[in-house]
Chain A
Amino acid sequence: AQSVAQPEDQVNVAEGNPLTVKCTYSVSGNPYLFWYVQYPNRGLQFLLKYITGDNLVKGSYGFEAEFNKSQTSFHLKKPSALVSDSALYFCAVRERDGYNKLIFGAGTRLAVHP
């Protein structure tokens, strides 16, 4: 079965510094990978996805993610963090059951300090 792991419960970063939120995956075959963000009292919002093509994927709000097949990783990055980026971030992989089921990681809380 497909799975994703987010090894950090929380990431703290100062405003203006680069940020990385880590995700590793375990899949059979080619992975379909996603990042979502959740702000307080809101549903999950799509940030970006990797299906095929360039290993560096650009998404919303200046975020990007790098697909690394050899390390089975799909880390989320941003060159300069904003306080407003503080939120809960989820990595997900599509299940290979022929449907659009996603397997979500446990989530990483990002705190950006002024």
Chain B
Amino acid sequence: DAGVIQSPRHEVTEMGQEVTLRCKPISGHDYLFWYRQTMMRGLELLIYFNNNVPIDDSGMPEDRFSAKMPNASFSTLKIQPSEPRDSAVYFCASSDHFEQLQHFGDGTRLSIL
């Protein structure tokens, strides 16, 4: 099992640019979660999907953030336009209904200059 795969691992871009973070969940998992981790705010849940359908996006900080899950094996988190305060580590996690525990990817470290 390859685990949850996130890309890129690091992203450095200038303010105002569009950023796209990618996630491949574990095969067979029906839940996918996007988190953001910063020193100031800790670990925050942004949005999660069940069977590719967004269930709760109340954690998405602004309209600049959007997430999609076009199929069971791929999800994206986009920030447009990006701002320096979006700098953080973004994690994707997946789980299945029976096991009930979340498996995390190793994250994308995003720096907005």
Known: A43-B91, A100-B31, A104-B43. A34 touches B101 (CB 8 A): yes
Q: Are A99 and B50 in contact (CB under 8 A)?
A: yes
In the complex, B56 has a CB within 8 A of chain A: yes
- List residues of chain B with CB within 8 A of the CB of A113: none
Give the size range of B's interface with the partner: 20 to 34
In chain A between 26 and 74, which residues have their CB closer than 8 angstroms to a CB of chain B?
Answer: 32, 34, 36, 41-46, 49, 51
- Provide the main secondary structure of the chain B interface: strand
Known: A101-B56, A107-B43. A43 touches B101 (CB 8 A): no
In the complex, A22 has a CB within 8 A of chain B: no
Q: Are A44 and B104 in contact (CB under 8 A)?
A: yes
Total number of residue pairs linking A and B with CB closer than 8 Å = 50
Q: Are B103 and A100 in contact (CB under 8 A)?
A: no
- Contact stretch, chosen from B11-19, B62-70, B75-83, B92-100: B92-100
In the complex, A90 has a CB within 8 A of chain B: yes
Known: A34-B101, A43-B105. A99 touches B48 (CB 8 A): yes
Question: B100 is contacted by which of A36, A41, A90, A100 (Cβ under 8 Å)?
Answer: A100
Q: Are B106 and A99 in contact (CB under 8 A)?
A: no
Residues of B within 8 A of A (CB): 4, 31, 33, 42-43, 45, 48, 50, 55-56, 91, 93, 95, 97, 100-107, 109
What are some 5 contacts across the A-B interface (CB < 8 A)? A44-B104, A46-B103, A99-B56, A100-B97, A100-B100
Which 9 residue pairs across A and B have the least CB separation, nearest first? A43-B104, A44-B104, A100-B95, A100-B31, A43-B106, A106-B42, A46-B101, A104-B43, A43-B105
Beyond known contacts A43-B4, A43-B105, A104-B43: 16 more, CB 8 A cutoff: A34-B101, A41-B107, A41-B109, A43-B104, A44-B91, A44-B93, A46-B103, A51-B100, A90-B43, A99-B55, A99-B56, A100-B31, A100-B95, A104-B42, A107-B42, A107-B43
